[in-house]
Amino acid sequence: GGKSNRAPRDHYQEVTDRIIAALEAGTPPWRQPWDPDTAGGPAMPCNAATGQRYRGINVLTLGMSALAFESGDPRWATYKQAAAHGWQVRKGERGTTGYLFKRLEVRDDTMPDDDEDAVRRIPLLRAFTLFHASQIDGIPDYVPPTLAQAPWRAPEAAEIIVANSGVPVRIGGDRAFYAPDT
């Protein structure tokens, strides 16, 4: 097969354009669309097939979708996931782009062969298409978790989550800080 003459998609620009469009439409993407006192917890975008919560930029882009705002349903699925569960994405529905980010480790050929640290980390960003639960026929109705089912709401749960995460948390200084390689 031949190579496509299409320019590669600029995923970063696509996300920026979506955020700007939401702001111009009067939809602040950081405003929570749920009532935390009755919802049992934040309706973080999650995968309808696996139950996994989305992370990274997907939290913002899926969370600010008009479909999620209007329905209060945080569930999303790929076409294949829906089909595997016997659900059907309605004909004509347009998907929402989700993003997978990971770092690939590749051998750095500019380093000596005997150097064990001769590895480069290359950022990889891939796009995939998701459909909101409201676009899928046959998917079970969304039932938000009750307070009893949402133990993360208890303040002591935060301490347990942080302790069990294995992520080093350092408190100090006067700025928020994140370093992806640490």
- Global pTM reads 0.62
Taking the domains of the chain in order of start, what are their residue ranges?
A: 11-144
- Return the pLDDT at 106: 85
In 3-state terms, what secondary structure has residue 133?
helix
For 76-104, letters b (16+ CB in 10 Å) and e give bbbbebbeeeebebeeeeeebbbbeeeee
Confidence (pLDDT) at 39? 43
pLDDT of residue 50: 93
pLDDT at 133: 95
Q: From the first residue on, what is the mean pLDDT of each consecutive set of 10 residues in the chain (182 residues)?
A: 69 83 69 48 80 89 77 92 98 95 83 74 91 96 74 66 78 66 60
